[in-house]
Amino acid sequence: MAFAVEINDLKKQFKDSYQPALDGLTLRVNEKQVIGLLGPNGAGKTTTINILCGLVTADSGEAKIFDRDCGKEQNYLRNIIGVVPQRIALFSHLTAWENFKYIGRLYGLHENTISERAQKLLERLGLEKHAHKRVGTFSGGMKRRANIIASLLHHPRLIILDEPTAGVDVQSRAMILEFLSEYKEHGKTILYTSHLMEEAEQLCDEVVIVDEGKFVVSGTPTDLVKNTANCNKLEDVFLHYTGHTLRD
């Protein structure tokens, strides 16, 4: 079986940066799981996601989604992956519904299909009463939930979320986490980044810790805690491997 995500020796040096964003990153993500990509600020998580989505080109190495090269096969992959970026990617002057119609059409979906799917997701994510309000008027949590809906309209097999619970209220966060667990039950794969270890420990089947553009360790949260000396929770494991130095 192909991996959902397979990254081999990926390197990326931005021109105006003094250190590489990715320095030979290698990792594997199994299908039909929730995987947490964890790492301190500047570890290379967003760069990795941008390469997977075809937004950034790697200098060298390999990034594949279901065995398809991310640099070369974005037209194919676009229909298979759904992306929720760190910064909300919706038109703030349009209503949620207008955004969904626009994005759905970009994916070549039929009007009725878009309406049906959007309606279901709006209800599931508690936004049905706000469908016809402008996104610019939404709270952070509402924008994030709306962005998740937009990324799922084409029923992707892999959903990639960059810090989906950062800056959202507690209730939105709980709903998003519950929703992601449920989404996995439909045979989907979820790759998400977070710096909330307690959350990752609850949600993830497996976590991958990266630092300074390199793979550090991976495993189930339970195994990692068990196999790392003097650790009682995932946060201890994270600090054990990434140290206590601040990364501002």
Cβ 41 to Mg ion shortest distance, Å: 8
Q: In whole angstroms, how far apart are CA 85 and each of 160, 217, 240?
A: 8, 24, 28
Segment near ligand ADP (CB under 6 A); pick from 14-22, 60-68, 147-155, 217-225: 14-22
Q: Quick one: 16 or 248, whose CB is closer to ligand ADP?
A: 16
Residue ranges of alpha helices (H) inside 23-163 are 45-52, 74-77, 96-106, 111-124, 140-152
Q: In whole angstroms, how far apart are CA 224 and each of 143, 155, 177, 235?
A: 34, 32, 21, 10
* Alpha-carbon radius of gyration of the chain: 18
Q: Indicate whether 43 belongs to the interface with ligand ADP (CB under 6 A).
A: yes
Q: Quick one: 46 or 194, whose CB is closer to Mg ion?
A: 46
Question: Taking Cα atoms as reference points, which of 130, 98, 127, 129 lies closest to residue 115?
Answer: 98
Segment near ligand ADP (CB under 6 A); pick from 9-17, 75-83, 122-130, 183-191: 9-17
Cβ 45 to Mg ion shortest distance, Å: 5
Cβ 161 to Mg ion shortest distance, Å: 11
Cβ 70 to ligand ADP shortest distance, Å: 15
Segment near Mg ion (CB under 5 A); pick from 40-48, 109-117, 125-133, 209-217: 40-48
- Say how many residues touch ligand ADP, by CB under 6 A: 12
Binders of ligand ADP among residues 227 to 246 (CB under 6 A) are none
CA atoms lying within 13 Å on the CB side of residue 156: 28
Q: Indicate whether 42 belongs to the interface with ligand ADP (CB under 6 A).
A: yes
Question: How far is residue 208's CA from residue 39's CA, in Å, rounded to a whole number?
Answer: 8
Contact pattern for ligand ADP over residues 20 through 39, marking x by CB under 6 A: -x-----------------x
Question: How far is residue 196's CA from residue 166's CA, in Å, rounded to a whole number?
Answer: 9
Binders of ligand ADP among residues 99 to 158 (CB under 6 A) are none
- Residue 241 neighbours by CB under 8 Å, 6+ apart: 209, 211, 216, 217, 228
Contact 36, 194 (CB under 8 A): yes
Segment near ligand ADP (CB under 6 A); pick from 44-52, 91-99, 114-122, 127-135: 44-52
Binding residues for Mg ion, per CB under 5 A?
Answer: 45-46
Binding residues for ligand ADP, per CB under 6 A?
Answer: 14, 16-17, 21, 39, 41-47
